[in-house]
Amino acid sequence: MATRIPLDRIRNIGISAHIDSGKTTLTERILYYTGRIHKIHEVRGKDGVGAKMDSMDLEREKGITIQSAATYCVWPGSQDQFQPININIIDTPGHVDFTIEVERALRVLDGAILVLDSGKGVQSQSITVDRQMKRYNVPRIAFVNKMDNPGANYDRVSAMLKEKLGHHSVKIQLPMGAEQEFKGIIDPIIGKAFYFDGDDGAIIREEEVPEEYKKATADARHEIIHLVADVDDILAEKFLMEEPISVEELRAAIRRATLALKMTPVMCGSAIKNKGVQLLLDGVVHFLPNPTEVKNEAHDQDNEEAKVVVESDPTKPFVGLAFKLQQDKYGQLTYFRVYQGTVSAGDTIFNVSNEKRKVRVPRMFRMHSDDREEIAQAEAGDIVAFYGVEASSGETFTDGKVNWTLTSMHVPAAVISLAVAPKDRAAETNFSKALNRFTKEDPTFRVHQDEESQQTIISGMGELHLDIYMERMRREYSCEVVAGKPQVAYREAITRRAEINYTHRKQTGGSGQYAKVLGYIEPLPSDAVEAYEFVDDVSGGSIPREFISSCDKGFKEGVRKGTLIGFPVVSIRCAVNDGAAHAVDSSEMAFKTAALMGFREAYAQAGPTILEPIMKVEIDAPIEFQGSVVGQVNQRRGTILETVGGDNVSVTCEVPLNAMFGYSTDLRSATQGKGTFTMEFARYAIVPRQEQDEMIKKYKEKLAIEQAKK
C-alpha cells in the first residue's frame, strides 16, 4: 500500500475566472509541468484534440468549459525548495450559465486561483466568482494572465482588485516588460529574475536581477513588506523596529494574511506563452492552505444542530460531502470531498441528509478529467469519486458513528424557462431518462409539468445553459427536442400592506366547515433573504394551535401562483393574528381554505405588481462600434452603468432579460462578428405599467380560452 502523504503536503485548489481569461489553458500548463500530461493541447487548437480538462465533445467544439473537471498532480517545486506537494485541482467554467459548477467546486476547496485578463482586469463574472469565494471563505491568489497581450497592464489589474472587489491586493512579482516585450518575471521577495526557456517554457533560468530593474525590485520588496505589515501584526512589529526581514519571515507573513482573508497576493504570467506557471505553483504551495488550516463546521443532528468542528484527521469518524454527480458509460460517479476520517472500498456509509440511508462503496477513483485511477482508500483532505453510490449534490455521508450534516451549497434561482417535447413519440423514454439524469447532476436545471397545458417545462440560468442540455439530449440519448419560445421567470409582489379578514363557512348535511382568519400581508424589506415569511401572532387561543400550520399552508398555496399573470409571489410577509374556530366544524382543511381565500382578497388590495429579472450585461467590441452597441442597449430598455474605452470598448449595463433574446445575433451583425457579451442575473425590478397591463390582458385571455375548453 502506498505511503500516505502528510496533510501539510496537500493542496485542494480551484481555478476560476471570467470566460476566456485562460483558466483551462493555465490548468493544461500546470498538468504539463507536473508531468500529468506529456503534450500540450490548446483549448481551440488546430490538432482537434482540445484541452485535457475539456473532456466533453461539446466543450472541445465550442472552446468553452461546461462542466467542472477534477484532476490531481504532484509538484516538486521549481527550485527544489520544498518536498513534493500533492495538488488536487478543479477547473471550473467561466460562463455564468454554468455558475453552479463554480459554486460546488468552491464549497469543497481550501484555496483558489482567481485568473484575470491583463488587458480587461476585473470583469462581470470575476465579480460573481469573487462573491462565491467570499461566501465560502476561500483564500485566493490572483493570477494576471495574458501578460503578452496588447494592453497588458499588471498594475492596473491589481488596482482594480482593490477598487472593484475590495481586496487588499499585494503585487508579489514584478514583470519584465509587457505585451510583446514580456520576457520574464522578477520575484522581489528573494531578489531573483526568472526566464522560461525552450519551446514549452519547461526550462526555468534563474538569474540575478538585470541592472535596469534593480531599483524597481528593491522598491517592490519594500512595498510588499509595508502592505503585508498593514495586515499582519508579527511582520508589523519587525517592520516598525526596522529589523531585517528574511525570505522565510516574509513568506510566512504573506501566508498568514492570505489564509486570514486579509490580503490577496497578485502574481502574473502568460499561460499560453508558457511563462510564470511554475512560479504560480510555488505560490500555491507557499501561500494557500493545506486541509488542516481550514476550519470546517458541521451541524450535530443529535444536539439541536449545534455547530461542531470537522477535523482533517484520518483517525476520526468518517465525514464526507457529495458535491457533484456525473454519469458516464459505466454508471454514476459521485464526487466526494472527504473532510474527516477514512473510507475504503467495500465500506458501508450512511446518507445523513437522507434519513440515514445506508449505502455501500463498491469502488473508488482518483479522477484526472475523464480518466480515472482506482484506489482502495481515501482519507481526510482527499477529493475522490465513488462509483455506484446514489446521492444528490450537497448530501453529507458519515460512517454512522456521528450524525452530522455539513452546510450545503447555495443554489441560485433559475431565470429562464422553455417548454420542451421530444420530436418523435418513440423517444419519450429517453427524453424522461435524460431529464431525470440532468436534474440529478445539475441543481440549477429544473423540470416541472405545467398543470394547465401539461407541457414539460425546463428552467435554467440562461439560453446557453438550456441549449447545451437540449444538444446533450440529442447526442447522448438520440432524442431530438422541439422547444417553445423562451419564457422569462417573472415574479409578482405587493407594494403595500393589506388586512386579511375572511370567514370560511360551508354547511352540507352532516358536519360542516368553519374557520375565521384575521391578519395581514405586507412587503418584506429589500434586504430580506427569504421570499416568504409567516408570522404567528395569535394569542388567547382564538385559533387552536393545531390549525396554525394549516394557515401557513394556505398562504404558501396563495404565494405559489399570483393572480396577475400566474407567477410566484415573492418578498411577502403573511401574518395571522386572530380568528375563530368551531368545536365541531373546524378542521385543518377549513383553516387552509380560509387562509388561502383571505390571502387572495387581501392580495388584490395590496397593490400587486409584476417583477422581471434584470441582467447585468458586459459587452466588448472594437471602439468603432461603440455607437451601435450603446444604441442597441437603449433599444432594449437597458441602462448603461459604465463605459471603458481603449482599442476595444467595454460597456457594462443592466437590461431586462425579456429584451435579451436574440441579442447575440444582433450584436454580431452590428459589430461585423467582433462583438462579444456575457450576462448574469442582477436583481428583480418592477415591469413598466404599460407592459404590465399588456401581460395581464394576455394572461386573462389565456385563462378564458382554457376555461372554454373545459
287 versus 82: the higher-pLDDT residue is 287
Determine the topology of domain 416-489 in CATH: Alpha-Beta Plaits (3.30.70)
Question: What does the pLDDT read at residue 508?
Answer: 65
Give yes or no for a contact between 15 and 91, defined as CB atoms under 8 angstroms apart: yes
User: Hey, what's the torsion of the CAs at 344, 348, 354, 357, to 10 degrees?
Assistant: 170
Strand bridging mode 532-536 / 572-580: parallel
- Taking the C-alpha atoms of residue 143 and residue 153, their distance in angstroms, rounded to an integer, is 13
Least confident piece of the model among 62-71, 498-507, 590-599: 62-71
Handedness of CA 267, 268, 272, 276 (dihedral sign): negative
Least confident of 178-192, 487-501, 521-535, 663-677: 663-677
Phi, psi of 378 (to 5 degrees): -130, 145
Contacts of 205 (CB under 8 A, 6+ apart): 194, 195, 196, 197
Query: Which residues, 6 or more positions from 578, have their beta carbon under 8 angstroms from its beta carbon?
Result: 518, 519, 538, 542, 543
pLDDT at position 53: 46
Asked whether the predicted pLDDT for residue 46 surpasses 70, the reply is no
Average pLDDT value for residue range 270-291: 93
pLDDT above 80: residue 369: no
Q: Mean pLDDT throughout 190-212?
A: 89
Spatial CA neighbour of 337 closest among 397, 411, 400, 402: 397
Q: Which of 51-55, 473-477, 518-522 has the lowest mean pLDDT?
A: 51-55
Provide the grid cell at 319. Answer: 465525514
pLDDT number for residue 45: 45
In the chain, the amino acid numbered 433 is K
Q: What's the average model confidence in pLDDT over 100-126?
A: 87
Q: Closest Cα partner for 495 from 694, 221, 689?
A: 689
Does 7-185+265-293 match 296-406 in CATH topology?
no
Query: Which among 686, 681, 705, 710 is positioned nearest to 637, based on CA atoms?
Result: 686
| pLDDT number for residue 40 | 66
What is the distance between the alpha carbons of residues 136 and 365, in angstroms, rounded to a whole number? 26
- Using DSSP, state whether 564 is helix, strand or coil: coil
Instruction: Over range 313-342, report the average pLDDT.
Output: 85
| pLDDT greater at residue 373 or residue 693 | 693
Spatial separation of the C-alpha atoms in residues 260 and 111, rounded to whole Å: 12
Q: What pLDDT does 210 receive?
A: 95
Q: Which CATH class is domain 492-607?
A: alpha beta
Beta-sheet strand order (sheet of 203-208): 174-176, 184-187, 192-197, 203-208
Residue 55 or 483, more confident: 483
| 8 A C-beta contact, residue 74 and residue 5 | no
pLDDT tens-digit series, residues 629-681: 999 999 999 999 988 877 788 899 999 998 988 887 888 888 887 888 888 88
Q: Are 18 and 126 spatial neighbours (Cβ–Cβ below 8 Å)?
A: yes
CA dist 282 and 275 (Å) reads 13
CATH assignment of 296-406, given 3.40.1550.10, 2.40.30.10, 3.40.710.10, 3.30.565.10?
2.40.30.10
The dihedral region occupied by 102, where left means phi > 0, alpha psi between -120 and 50, and beta the remainder, is: alpha
Q: Which three cell numbers stand for residue 659?
A: 429584451
CATH number attached to the domain at 7-185+265-293 = 3.40.50.300
Dihedral, 309, 312, 318, 322 alpha carbons, nearest 10: 90
CA distances from residue 33 to 15, 78, 187, 391 in whole angstroms, order as listed: 16, 10, 20, 35
Compute the distance between CA of residue 273 and CA of residue 29 in angstroms, rounded to an integer.
10
0.85 exceeded by the pTM? no
Helix axes 463-477, 428-441, angle to 10 degrees: 130
More confident residue, 451 or 84: 84
Segment 569-597 shows an average pLDDT of: 92
**pLDDT (mean) for 559-569:** 93
Task: Kindly state the percentage of the chain with pLDDT values over 70.
Answer: 92
Q: What confidence score (pLDDT) does residue 488 get?
A: 87
Q: Which run of H or of E encompasses 471? A: helix 463-477
Confidence at residue 3, expressed as pLDDT on a 0 to 100 scale = 53
Least confident of 209-218, 446-455, 483-492, 494-503: 446-455
- Compare 346 and 47 and report the one with higher pLDDT: 346
At residue 56, the pLDDT reads 57
Nearest CA-CA partner of 73 in 347, 494, 368: 368
Cell match 449595463: residue? Answer: 653
Higher pLDDT, 408 or 8: 8
d(CA 346, CA 334): 15
Q: Give pLDDT, residue 387.
A: 87
pLDDT band at 80 (very low <50, low <70, confident <90, very high): low
- Considering the domain delimited by 613-690, tell me its CATH architecture: 2-Layer Sandwich (3.30)
SS3 of residue 78 by DSSP: coil
Q: What is the mean pLDDT of residues 220-230?
A: 95
* pLDDT tier, 570 (very low <50, low <70, confident <90, very high otherwise): very high
Mean pLDDT of 506-534: 85
Q: Which region, left, alpha or beta, applies to residue 28 given φ > 0 means left and ψ of -120 to 50 means alpha?
A: alpha
613 has pLDDT over 70: yes
Whole-number Å distance between alpha carbons of 150 and 147: 8
State how far the Cα of 480 lies from the Cα of 422, in Å rounded to an integer: 6
* Sign (positive or negative) of CA dihedral 435, 437, 438, 442: positive
Give the pLDDT score at 627: 93
Q: CA gyration radius for the chain?
A: 29
Q: Given this model, what pLDDT does residue 661 score?
A: 84
**How much is the average pLDDT of 112-127?**
88
Residue pair 300/55 in contact (Cβ under 8 Å)? The answer is: no
Q: Could you tell me the residue ranges of all domains in the chain?
A: 7-185+265-293, 296-406, 416-489, 492-607, 613-690
pLDDT at 144: 96
Work out the average pLDDT over 61-66: 63
pLDDT at 47: 43
**For residues 135-154, average pLDDT:** 93
Instruction: Please provide the average confidence, as pLDDT, over all residues in the chain.
Output: 87
Q: What confidence score (pLDDT) does residue 250 get?
A: 96
